[in-house]
Structure 1
Amino acid sequence: MSDRPLSVAVIGAGPAGIYAADILSKSEIETSIDLYERLPAPFGLVRYGVAPDHPRIKQIIVALYKILQRGDIRLIGNVTVGRDITIDEMRAHYDAIIVATGSDRDAPLDIPGIDLEGSYGAADFVSWYDGHPDYPREWPLEAKEVAVLGVGNVALDVARILAKHPDDLMVTEIPENVEKGLRANPITDVHVFGRRGPAQVKFTPLELRELGKVPDVDVIVYEEDFDFDEGSQEAINSSNQTKQVVNTLTDWVMRDEEPTASRRIHLHMLQAPVEILGTDRVEGVRMERTELTGDGSVKGTGMFIDYPVQAVYRAVGYFSSPVEGLPFDDIHGVIPNIEGRVIQPGGDHIPGVYATGWVKRGPVGLIGSTKSDARETITHLVEDAEAGKLDRLADRTDGEPVTALLDDRGVKYTTWQGWEILEEFEKALGEAQGRERVKVVERATMTAISRGEEHDGKLY
C-alpha cells in the first residue's frame, strides 16, 4: 500500500455522504477526503427536504455541522459531477469514489390523468417551500380542495404546509417568496389518501400528533376507514410505533365534537387512486375502495368514489437520479451495487467506486439506517484498500489538482468556510425579522456570499 493517505471523493453532502466521510475518517487507514455537493450549501434533504416547521428534526444538522466543522473533511460545493467534472476525471485524481447523491425526485405513479395541469409531485412542492435554488420561485396555489396521495411523513408535511395559516409559519426560516405564495393560498380542504388500513400507514407518531395541534385546522378521520386483519394486529403487537399511530387515529375517530376550523385535513384509508379526473386540468380524483386480505395487504373491491379536487400531489416516494458516467437501475432508481460496491452490468465491481444512502438501497429508512448503511459501505472500502484492490497512483496529491481544474474551468465552487459566511448572513436576515434565520434561495447570491464576492442582493 502507498505510504500517502488514501485519497477519497464523496459525492453528495447530505447525511449519507457526511456520515460516510465521518466513518471513513475514523477508520484504521489514513485518508484525505473531499466532499462534493452540487448545491452551494451542504446538508442535502435535511436542509431542502424537511418541512420548515420541524425544528426538532432539523437538529440533525447540528450533528452534521460538528462533523464538517472539524476541518479534516474538505467541502467542495456548487459542483455538479458529470458537468463540471466527470467521473473519469475524478477516478484519475482519487483512489476511491463514494456516491451518496440521495433521491431527489418523485417516484412515478402511472394512472390516467397524472400529467394533467394541477397534478404535482410532492418532492417538487417540498423543494419549493424549502427554498431549493433550482426550483421555480412561484407555486400555483389556486385550489380550494386538494388530494395528497400517500401516507408517509412527506404526505403529512405537504398536507400540513398546505393547510397551515402562514402566520403560524413566520417563526420558521421560510423565504419571502414562499411566504407570499402561502398567503395567497385559498385552500379549505386537504384529503390525504392511503390504500391500506390504519395499521399500515407510514406516519411516525410524532408527526401524526403534531398534525392534531395545528391552529385553526381540524383533522377528520372516518370510521368506515377503520379495519384490522390478522396482519394488522400482528403489526400493532410487534411495533410500539404502529400501536401509537393506531391509538392516535382511533382517538380522533372517536371524537364527538363537530369540526369548527376554517381549514380541514381529511385522512382517508383503504382507498387507492385509479384516475385523476379532468380534461385540461385537475377537476377531481377517483379512488377505489380496498379491503384487507389477511396479511396487511389489500385488494380492490370494485367500488369507486369521486372527490372534487382542483390539485393532486403524489407523495408515493422519492426516486434517485443517474450520475453520468456510472451505471443506473432505471426500474428501482438506484446505482447497481452489492453491499455498497458499485457493479457493472455484468456484475463485476468497478474498482474504487462505492455507493451509500438512498442511491444505494432506495428511499427507505431514517437517519439511523443511513449511518448503518454508510458503515457497511466503508467497511468494504477499507477491506479493498487493505487488500490492494484500489489503484494507488503516485501522482494523486490530496485533490489539489481537482480544485485547480475547477478554477481553470471557471467553476465557482464553495467551501466550508464559505458556508459559515452564508449561514451568518441567513441568521442576520432572520434576526432582523425576529426569526432564527431566513434562507437565501437564489443560487448566484448564495455562491457570491459564500465566496466573499459582490452580488446584486437578490435573495430569491
Structure 2
Amino acid sequence: MPYVVTQSCCNDASCVVACPVNCIHPAPGDPGFAEAEMLHVDPATCVDCGACATACPVGAIVPHTKLQPHELPFLEINASYYRDNPHADRTPLALVPAQRRLRSSDPVRVAVVGAGPAGMYVADELLKHPEVSVDVYDRLPTPYGLLRAGVAPDHQDTKRAEELFRDIESQPGFRYRLGVEVGEDVALEELLRHHHAVVYAVGASADRPLGVPGEDLPGSLSATDLVGWYNGHPDRRDLDVRLDGERVVVVGNGNVALDVARVLTADPARLAATDIADHALAALAESGVREVVVLGRRGPAQAAFTLPELVGLAGHHDLNVRVEAAAEDLAGDDPRLVALAELARRPVDPALRTMVLRFNTAPVEVLGSDRVSGLRVARTELVPDGNGVLRARLTEDTETIEAGMVLRSVGYRGVPVRDLPHDADTHTVRNDGGRVRPGVYVAGWAKRGSTGFIGSNKTCAQETVGRLLDDLDANLVDRGPRDPRGLEEELRRRGVTVVDLAGWRAIDEEERRRGAAAGRPRRKIVDPAELTRVAARDRLAGRYAGGGRR
C-alpha cells in the first residue's frame, strides 16, 4: 500500500479530488461519507503519485514506508474498508463538476459571522465567484474558532489546517472584521444595510448538562471549558482548575473526553513542545493528578470515540490505559473492540499516570460540600428501545468514585442566536438547507447540530452557499450597491476595536516569534487587551497591507 490515511484525517475530501485514479473513499456522494470517521486509500489501485498527500490540509496521508510504529494499524484499517465496501465501478479519474457562475456580474458583498472552520469554508466557497467579496466577523480578535481553541495541543498535525485557512484569507475579496460581536456591537439589520447577505457560522456554544444533583459545585466543569483553558481561549484563561487531587472523572467517552483525559495524564515535557497555553502548562507541571477515569453509559461497542482517536491513544506509551470491561464485551472483529482488547492486554507501569476506560457506568450525583469530592455512579444495563436501539438503564448497583474534579463531556447544544429563529428541539437555527430567509443563511453546527469533523463543514458550506446563489439568481436578494465603510466608522464611534487581516497576521507572527524563542510552535497571547495592542501596534507601524478588495 503506497499511501495510507492516518488518524489525523479531517474529512474535507481535498484528497478525493486530487487523486487521479479515484482510490480514496468514501467520497462525497458515497453512502456514509457524511458520517465517516476517516477516509481510506485502496491499496489495490493506488498508483503512488503522492497527489493526495500534497492536497491533505492536515498531513494525514503518508507513504506506508514512513508510518510510525503506532500508526501501523492504519494499514489494515485502510485495506479492510475495501474488503467490506468494494468499489469495482470506479471512474478512472476524479470528476470535478463545472464551476457554477452567477447570472449577473454585479458585485456582491457577504458578511460571514464566525471565523471558525465553518465560516472559513463558507468564505472559500463564496470567493470562487469573482463578483463576491467577503467580510468575516468574529467576536474574538483571533480567527479559526475550534481549530485554534478546540483541537488538543498534542494534535499538531490536525492544526495544520491553519495553512488551508491562511490560503483562504489571502484571497482577493477577503477581509477580517475581528473583535466585533454581532448581536451586541452590531445588529443583523445593520449588517444587511451594508452587505447583500449574511451567513451565520457561530457553532454550538453550550455544553449539555449531566442533569444530576451537585453538578454546579466548584470543581464540576465542562470538558469544553477545560479544553478552552488549556488551549488559551481568552474567555477561559481564568477558569478555576484545581489539579491537587489524585483522580479526575470524565463523564462521556467521545473524542473530546479522550482529549482531556490524555492531556491531564500526559508528561508535561511532551506538552511543552506544543502550543498549549502557558498558564495550563505551568499548572499541569505541578499537577497531582495520577488517574483519569473516563465513563461511558453504554458498552465498548457503543462508545462514542472514533477508531482513529483510539489508535492514536494506543500510540502513547507514557501513560497506562486500563480498560474496565468484561472480556466478552471486547470480543469480536469490530476494529474498535480489537483496539480496546489490545489496550486491555498492555502491562501496567506503576510509575506512569493512568487513564481508565470504564463502561456501563452512569453518574448519579456529584458529591461534595464546598467543592467536588467524588462522584456517585450506578452500573447500567443495555435494553432495546422501541426502535431496537440499545439504551442504558440504571441499576441499583451504585458506588462512589473519589475525585477532585468531575468533567462533563456529553455533547453540545446550540443556544438561541439573536435575530434568528431557534429550534428548541434540535438546538439549531431553523433553516432550509442553510437558508433562514432570502439574504440570511446559516452553516456549521448552528445549522446541522454538533455533528461531523472539521472537514464536514466543507460540504455543509457548499450547500448553504448554493442556497445563497440560488436566491441571488432568482432576484430574491437586493443587488443594490453596498459599502461597509460606513459601518466601520460607526463601530469606531461605538468604541469597538476592529482587528483586520493585517492585525491578525501581526498577532500570528508575534505568537510564533515567542514560540520559536522557547522551542515551541507558538506561545498564545490570551489577554484580549494585549491581542488588540499587538494588532494595532503592528498595523500602525505599516508592516502589512490591508486585506482584500472593497
Same-fold status (TM-score > 0.5): yes
Cα distance in structure 1, aligned partners of 2:524 and 2:188: 31
Cα distance in structure 1, aligned partners of 2:393 and 2:504: 50
Match of 1:406 among 491, 513, 516: 491
Match of 1:396 among 482, 506, 510: 482
Match of 1:452 among 537, 546, 549: 537
Residue by residue, what CA displacement relative to the aligned partner does 1:369-412 show, whole Å, maximum 9, x if unpaired? 211111111111111111111133x3413x22222222222311
- The answer for the alignment partner of 1:386 in structure 2 is 473
Alignment partner of 1:131: what SS?
Answer: coil
Match of 2:119 among 1, 5, 17: 17
The residue type equivalent to 2:426 in the other structure is H
- Structure 1 residue 292 and structure 2 residue 382: aligned? yes
- Structure 1 residue 333 and structure 2 residue 427: aligned? yes
Deviating more after overlay: 147-156 vs 164-173: 164-173
- Structure 1 residue 271 and structure 2 residue 361: aligned? yes
Alignment partner of 1:360: what SS?
Answer: helix
Q: CA deviation at 1:89?
A: 0.8
Q: Is the 8 A contact 2:243 2:404 kept in 1?
A: no
- The answer for the alignment partner of 1:171 in structure 2 is 273
Residue by residue, what CA displacement relative to the aligned partner does 1:120-169 show, whole Å, maximum 9, x if unpaired? 00111111100011223353223211100111111011111111121221
The residue type equivalent to 1:261 in the other structure is A
Cα distance in structure 2, aligned partners of 1:258 and 1:19: 44
Alignment partner of 1:50: what SS?
Answer: coil
The residue type equivalent to 1:48 in the other structure is A
Cα distance in structure 2, aligned partners of 1:211 and 1:155: 12
Cα distance in structure 2, aligned partners of 1:286 and 1:416: 50
Distance 1:134-1:225 versus aligned 2 partners, 3 A rule: farther
Cα distance in structure 2, aligned partners of 1:273 and 1:73: 47
- The answer for the alignment partner of 1:252 in structure 2 is 343
Residue by residue, what CA displacement relative to the aligned partner does 1:238-271 show, whole Å, maximum 9, x if unpaired? xxxxx3322110112234x344233111000111
Quick one: higher RCO (CA 8 Å, sep 6+), 1 or 2? 1
Cα distance in structure 1, aligned partners of 2:344 and 2:352: 19
- Structure 1 residue 54 and structure 2 residue 155: aligned? yes
Alignment partner of 1:293: what SS?
Answer: strand
Match of 1:427 among 512, 528, 547: 512
Q: Is the 8 A contact 2:242 2:405 kept in 1?
A: no
Unpaired runs of 5+ in structure 2? Answer: 1-102, 541-550
Q: CA deviation at 1:2?
A: 7.1
**Equivalent residue runs for 1:340-359 within 5 Å:** 340-342=434-436, 350-359=437-446
Match of 1:222 among 319, 324, 328: 324
Residue by residue, what CA displacement relative to the aligned partner does 1:417-448 show, whole Å, maximum 9, x if unpaired? 21111111111101111122111111111111
Distance 1:454-1:59 versus aligned 2 partners, 3 A rule: closer
Residue by residue, what CA displacement relative to the aligned partner does 1:75-133 show, whole Å, maximum 9, x if unpaired? 11111111211112112222111000112332222111111121000111111100011
- The answer for the alignment partner of 1:39 in structure 2 is 140
The residue type equivalent to 2:444 in the other structure is G
Residue by residue, what CA displacement relative to the aligned partner does 1:176-234 show, whole Å, maximum 9, x if unpaired? 212221122110111000111112212223322332344542110123285279xxx7x
Alignment partner of 2:109: what SS?
Answer: strand
Q: CA deviation at 1:69?
A: 1.6
- Structure 1 residue 318 and structure 2 residue 427: aligned? no
Match of 1:184 among 279, 282, 286: 286
Alignment partner of 2:236: what SS?
Answer: coil
Q: Is the 8 A contact 1:105 1:124 kept in 2?
A: no
Q: Is the 8 A contact 2:220 2:407 kept in 1?
A: yes
Cα distance in structure 1, aligned partners of 2:242 and 2:157: 29
Deviating more after overlay: 378-387 vs 260-269: 260-269
Cα distance in structure 1, aligned partners of 2:508 and 2:163: 13
Cα distance in structure 2, aligned partners of 1:97 and 1:110: 36
**Equivalent residue runs for 1:56-135 within 5 Å:** 56-135=157-236
Cα distance in structure 2, aligned partners of 1:372 and 1:260: 47
- The answer for the alignment partner of 2:58 in structure 1 is none
Runs of 4+ residues deviating >4 angstroms: none
Residue by residue, what CA displacement relative to the aligned partner does 1:51-95 show, whole Å, maximum 9, x if unpaired? 111111111111111111223211111111112111121122221
Q: Is the 8 A contact 2:177 2:500 kept in 1?
A: yes
Cα distance in structure 2, aligned partners of 1:286 and 1:391: 59
Unpaired runs of 5+ in structure 1? Answer: 237-242, 343-349, 456-460
Alignment coverage as a number of residue pairs: 433
Q: Is the 8 A contact 1:97 1:352 kept in 2?
A: yes
Cα distance in structure 2, aligned partners of 1:183 and 1:17: 35
The residue type equivalent to 1:390 in the other structure is V
Deviating more after overlay: 324-333 vs 18-27: 324-333
Cα distance in structure 2, aligned partners of 1:383 and 1:228: 50
The residue type equivalent to 2:227 in the other structure is V
Alignment partner of 2:184: what SS?
Answer: coil
Alignment partner of 1:7: what SS?
Answer: strand
Cα distance in structure 2, aligned partners of 1:162 and 1:180: 12
Deviating more after overlay: 205-214 vs 167-176: 205-214
The residue type equivalent to 1:327 in the other structure is P
Cα distance in structure 1, aligned partners of 2:473 and 2:534: 42
Q: Is the 8 A contact 2:297 2:360 kept in 1?
A: yes
Cα distance in structure 2, aligned partners of 1:415 and 1:407: 13
Distance 1:374-1:21 versus aligned 2 partners, 3 A rule: same
- Structure 1 residue 262 and structure 2 residue 322: aligned? no
Give the TM-score normalised by structure 1. Answer: 0.89
Cα RMSD for the two superposed structures: 2.2
Q: Is the 8 A contact 2:503 2:538 kept in 1?
A: no
Distance 1:305-1:224 versus aligned 2 partners, 3 A rule: farther
Q: CA deviation at 1:454?
A: 10
Cα distance in structure 1, aligned partners of 2:364 and 2:372: 14
Q: Is the 8 A contact 1:218 1:264 kept in 2?
A: yes
Alignment partner of 1:297: what SS?
Answer: strand
Match of 2:256 among 130, 139, 154: 154
Cα distance in structure 2, aligned partners of 1:353 and 1:290: 45
Deviating more after overlay: 298-307 vs 64-73: 298-307
